[in-house]
Structure 1
Amino acid sequence: MSNAPYGVAVSVDPLVRRVLAPNATPFTGTGTQTHLVGRDTLAIIDPGPDDDAHLAALLRAIGDTPVAAIMVTHTHRDHSPLARRLAERVEAPVVGCAPLALDDLGPRADAAFDDSYAPDRVLADGERIDGDGWTLEAVATPGHTSNHLAFALPQAGALFSGDHVMGWSTTIVSPPDGDMAAYMASLQKLFEREDDRIYFPAHGDVVENPRRLVRGLLGHRKQREGQILRLLRDDVAAVPAMVARMYAGIDQRMWPAAERSVLAHLIDLRQRGLAVEEGDAWRAA
């Protein structure tokens, strides 16, 4: 997994640099990566947590280069809170996903939503922002959150995948805002995008064979769904008991997050008529 020093702009493509925020946790890996796109004018993607050291690092990396837009993939607190402070310093608009005010029911350190996020412009699927030598196109990818966007950079054959596809772990889908059916549909949408040769995720390493990874993520979720259905048939009815069986070899600090994704699977199965919810328990339909 990427282990670049905090606060240093690292080139990952002739048009792209990244700066790692100092917010490493079991949920964020080594931290959140802010990407700087362009040369003579810049777009800043996912400014990150409201952290003074990270703001100073971004201002050093930007220098005197004009900033066309500060772009946000989604509004979890490790991605968007620094947007407004940075926008005021570099005199650029905040552009990207829609705002979202929702109390997350899951015990995830990275999943609290940023209720201060107020974009100057919300991008719909397919809308573009242009700079000097670059174009960024919004690609709607709901699932991890309902407002999640990825951004395609056709000049590099690249996609900034936010948290929808990460370079170190599978993403968490946490109801009520996280939606497994939407997540799977978004993965399929990305798999069908044949021109994206590389992904720059917000967490972890650059993804150099993205369609292979996305195919694997689709298969992984189908495998988890199959495990859940088998457990239901074996009368394992409670989500914590399912997680203890399914994630026995995983760090138990991650089990609360795994419970959120298992719940998302169960809700999807219920909507498809394959599972029934009975209070805190579930059974096969």
Structure 2
Amino acid sequence: MDAPTRPWPTGKVEVLEPLVRRVLAPNPSPFTYTGTQTYLIGTAADVVVLDPGPNDPAHIDALLAAIGDARVRTITCTHTHRDHSPAAAPLKLLTGAEIVGCAPLVLDTSGPRADAPFDTTYAPDRVMQDGEAIAGDGYTLRAVATPGHTSNHLCFALEQTGALFTGDHVMGWSTSVVSPPDGDMAAYMLSLTLLYDRADRVYYPAHGPAVEKPQQLVRGMVGHRRQRERQILRQLEHGPQAIPDMVPAMYKGTDPGLYPAAGMSVLAHLIDLEQKGKVSRQGETWRLAA
């Protein structure tokens, strides 16, 4: 999906529904779309700040202006990539609110990435478990464990309105990155099935527009991943191959500068197919299982 025409509403408060406001961070990129979207959930008196975003002074100032005189009940994070959680620590100092949400996770990933690396500063006061809730003035926000994009990823369901805040698990502009060693394709597919079986009214992702037909999108995402699996198996029908040999044929029309990142997605699929007994590897070379 192409980015919308500028100007984007960076730093401005957008009211999405009575209990939900959104503030766009100034960190656009080929992998964050127009930037990370921070959500303020609650009333004029009591809010949760969800995915506070990058530690950018302009973004933090915009959040403080949007919060106004409200009590910040918690600062909550879906996962610990650097475009999502670094503003949590300075916002805690400024508001006194606790940091709760996903578990801390830092990995040294030296390979190519198609997303932000991990946030080494994230230090939650409390880790939320699947099904645990934050209850405030007229709202209840319940954690939904969705590992796959990262092993610590959580979505959050707003029970009063049927909205689901999907972080990077389901985005409004692109498929999610699943990058080993922490990104796990099998877990990601199971988490998509979990969301498909829910009855959420709308998704509010960290990047891209709201998803008004969530089950339709999730069904398409599952189909897209299955298609990638079939592409990989067809490639290996021609004989053993290394990932750099597979990517150009699978991602025709893609900027070659993005091939290393695409290769990580192919690796995630190959690991999943290996666990299913469909492929095997010897060193850097992959082949169909005997």
Contact 1:141–1:148 (CA under 8 A) maintained in structure 2: yes
Which of 239, 244, 264 is matched with 1:240 structurally? Answer: 244
Partner AA of 2:64 in structure 1: L
Q: CA deviation at 1:236?
A: 5.4
- 1:263 paired with 2:245, answer no
Which of 18, 28, 31 is matched with 1:27 structurally? Answer: 31
Partner AA of 2:150 in structure 1: T
Distance change >3 Å, CA 105–CA 265, structure 1 → 2: farther
Matches within 5 A, 1:98-177: 98-108=103-113, 110-177=115-182
- Structure 2 distance, partners of 1:136, 1:120, is 17
- Structure 2 distance, partners of 1:41, 1:220, is 40
**Structure 2 spans left out of the alignment, 5+ residues:** none
Which of 6, 15, 18 is matched with 2:19 structurally? Answer: 15
Query: For 1:5-43, what per-residue CA distance to the aligned partner results, in whole angstroms no more than 9, with x for missing partners?
Result: 211011111111111111111111110000000112000
Q: CA deviation at 1:255?
A: 2.0
**Structure 1 spans left out of the alignment, 5+ residues:** none
Q: CA deviation at 1:252?
A: 2.8
Counterpart for residue 208 of structure 2: 204
Partner AA of 2:138 in structure 1: G
Partner AA of 1:122 in structure 2: V
Matches within 5 A, 1:47-66: 47-66=52-71
Q: CA deviation at 1:234?
A: 1.2
Q: CA deviation at 1:109?
A: 5.9
TM-score (norm 2): 0.95
Contact 1:142–1:186 (CA under 8 A) maintained in structure 2: yes
- Structure 1 distance, partners of 2:115, 2:189, is 21
Contact 1:164–1:171 (CA under 8 A) maintained in structure 2: yes
Counterpart for residue 92 of structure 1: 97
Counterpart for residue 185 of structure 2: 180
Q: CA deviation at 1:175?
A: 0.2
Contact 1:74–1:97 (CA under 8 A) maintained in structure 2: yes
- Structure 2 distance, partners of 1:208, 1:269, is 32
Q: CA deviation at 1:253?
A: 3.2
Contact 1:105–1:176 (CA under 8 A) maintained in structure 2: no
Partner AA of 1:68 in structure 2: R
Contact 2:115–2:177 (CA under 8 A) maintained in structure 1: no
SS in 2 for 1:155: coil
- Structure 2 distance, partners of 1:104, 1:188, is 28
Which of 78, 82, 86 is matched with 1:77 structurally? Answer: 82
SS in 2 for 1:49: coil
Indicate the RMSD between aligned Cα atoms, in angstroms.
1.1
- Structure 2 distance, partners of 1:213, 1:106, is 30
Which of 59, 62, 73 is matched with 1:68 structurally? Answer: 73
Contact 1:75–1:99 (CA under 8 A) maintained in structure 2: yes
Which of 260, 280, 285 is matched with 1:281 structurally? Answer: 285
Query: For 1:108-156, what per-residue CA distance to the aligned partner results, in whole angstroms no more than 9, with x for missing partners?
Result: 2633101211101100000000010111100000000000000000111
Q: CA deviation at 1:161?
A: 0.1
Counterpart for residue 221 of structure 2: 217
- Structure 2 distance, partners of 1:237, 1:46, is 40
Contact 2:29–2:35 (CA under 8 A) maintained in structure 1: yes
Partner AA of 1:252 in structure 2: P
TM-score (norm 1): 0.97
Contact 1:270–1:276 (CA under 8 A) maintained in structure 2: yes
Q: CA deviation at 1:90?
A: 1.0
Distance change >3 Å, CA 156–CA 252, structure 1 → 2: farther
Contact 1:26–1:254 (CA under 8 A) maintained in structure 2: no
Q: CA deviation at 1:257?
A: 1.7
Identity rate of aligned residues, in percent?
Answer: 62
- The count of aligned residue pairs is 284
Contact 1:236–1:242 (CA under 8 A) maintained in structure 2: no
Partner AA of 2:269 in structure 1: H
